Chains A and B, each alone.
Chain A
Amino acid sequence: MQQATQLKETQVQTNQNTIVEGVSFWQDAWKRLKKNKAAMISAYCVLFLVIVCFFGPFILNKFFGYDFSTQDLAYGAKPPTLKHPFGTDYFGRDLLTRTLVGGSISLMVGLIAATVAAIVGTIFGSVSGFFGGRVDNLMMRFVDVLYAVPYLFLVIILVTVIERVNVGSIFDPFNTVSEVLMGLKIFEGRLILLFIALGLVGWLTTARIVRGQVLSIKEQEFVQAARSIGVSNTAIIFRHLIPNALGTIIVYFTLTVPSMIMQEAFLSFIGLGIQPPNPSLGSLISDGAKQMQLYWWTLVFPAIFLAILLYCLNFVGDGLRDALDPKERKE
């Protein structure tokens, strides 16, 4: 950041009558982001979707008594009506409620898995880049090998292994919150581990990118200065290298979120993710695809919802890349 700030300061056109304040890298990026209309609109859409997904089920439950799991077999599957704008599924459950709960689970998966991926990738990449030489070579070969193993294989194996791990009560506070809002403990057993498994497989690209960044940052004067006054390696990595690569890390984090949501959807589709009656967008689409000949709406609404969610998230990620990574910026 330091060096980016300096650059910016020299570039700011000085006007004799006004006092020009230095524009920090983040202020500059924020200005660029605000100018990008598509990204800003998508950011508001994402915000809207997040609020609707997390609070919608609560409101629907309060005012209409809808619930994502209570079955009403006598009512059965009905096409969209005013009462149920998305229709109901085979078990007579309101599909709007289920889609929103599914959306919130998918969002949680995306956020947690992407966070895990960002942390692992950042640490791996910066250590590899910082030490360089043989360590770097070995660590990057490891990444290459993992790249060549289909991630699906790793995820399936990881999921079946960590199913046996007990996380205990660390996530209890979060569970209380999610139970009040959605009537569902999001952070229970298998689900939270699935998030982590996805993250543990998805860090490879972040590691490569961060390594590249670190390789160029570590040659700069301020790092040499830090080293000359005896700052430890760990401190250099965490205080100097990672903060300076933060822009790139954030960009890849936002781009990982939609891809993690997609992968969770896929895992739920093949029956490895969410267990019924809990919905995720993937399991809803999977159920809908099985019944689409009879009940088209059970497929169409969750599928379009997922597509819109991914579309907005991707646009935000793109906008952030343009704002935070001026080198990558398109004209």
Chain B
Amino acid sequence: MAWESGVQFMIKKEVVVIGGGPSGMAAAIEAAKRGAEVLVIDANEKAGGQLFKQIHKFFGSSEHGAGVRGIDIGRDLLKEAEELGVEVWLNSVAIGLFAEKQIAVETGTDDAEKIVRVVEGEKIVIACGASENVVRFQGWTLPGIMGAGAAQTMINANRVLPGKKILMVGSGNVGLIVSYQLMQAGADVVALVEAAPNIGGYVVHASKIARAGVPIYTRHTVLEARGEGRVKEAVICEVDGKWQPVPGTEKVIEVDAIAIAAGLKPLAELAIMNGCKTKFDPILGGWAPLHDENMESSCSGIYVVGDVTGVEEANTALEEGRLAGVAIAAALGKITAEEAETEKKKIWDRLDGLRSGPHGEARMKAKDRQLADFRQLSAAEI
């Protein structure tokens, strides 16, 4: 590229979405559908985020795509975005978010060829998702030990089996679903350990792997990984009521990979860098930016959607993205406030539905707290 400094200034767009996963693409589509000019920046070689790893059928209401596999939802989203003229920059990382809503974007996979562009968006949507938590134990850096999300990327995106005899650590939905998918890919899940007394994820997911013969050990953790050059054995043991290992309960299991599904935390750095007000909520995965009913953060014109504002699921991420897209279209004058209100009401009803029931209750309350905290923030500033 011919720029002297290697940096190209200043590209202007009405809407810039950082992250092309379900929430970001949904926001882009809803805004573009109503006439906004939208650019999506995505760090990967293909947009769609986690959807292309989610080969299972989604739960939810049959009126809104339940029973459809994540990969198919992803394919349809990308197609719709393309038809609407949404511009997508792939292999592009937002390396900075500055005042005046300027984003520094580094594009390229080869260091020598990378270019940096600065894009200014009238409205910015931060939709960078979440990152996996780790669990540290003796030997945890041995090759073959990885996040469950990494294992899922290997099997479903890259079609490479991370191992044949896998220990899964964690029984949330990620741990349960990835265990199932590892078996679908041809591996054996030799055990699943969960430190809590009960399984964390949906029981139907647990039942699928139980009848596939995966031993589920609740009140158990992984103590040690052994092996030279690669993990060969895992030592698991019981934990007591205070999460401490119970001596004498150790079991040695032969493994060639360990996948860790210990939850996710919002990738909130860009929002924090920009000064968006955040709050710590363990139910939402940690520090997450606050937002109003339009998904707008405490920084005017900066919206936060999907896992970045509280770790949930792809279907809630889609709806949050849609909310922001509609709100942005209204803020840009593409539709009237009344039109936006009608549409947003429908989306909120769907979101409430997805967060209903005993399994959604904690998340529903946490998201309500987030909105209440935002209102308090606004009141204090006035």
A and B: bona fide binding partners: no
A positions within 8 Å CB-CB of B: none
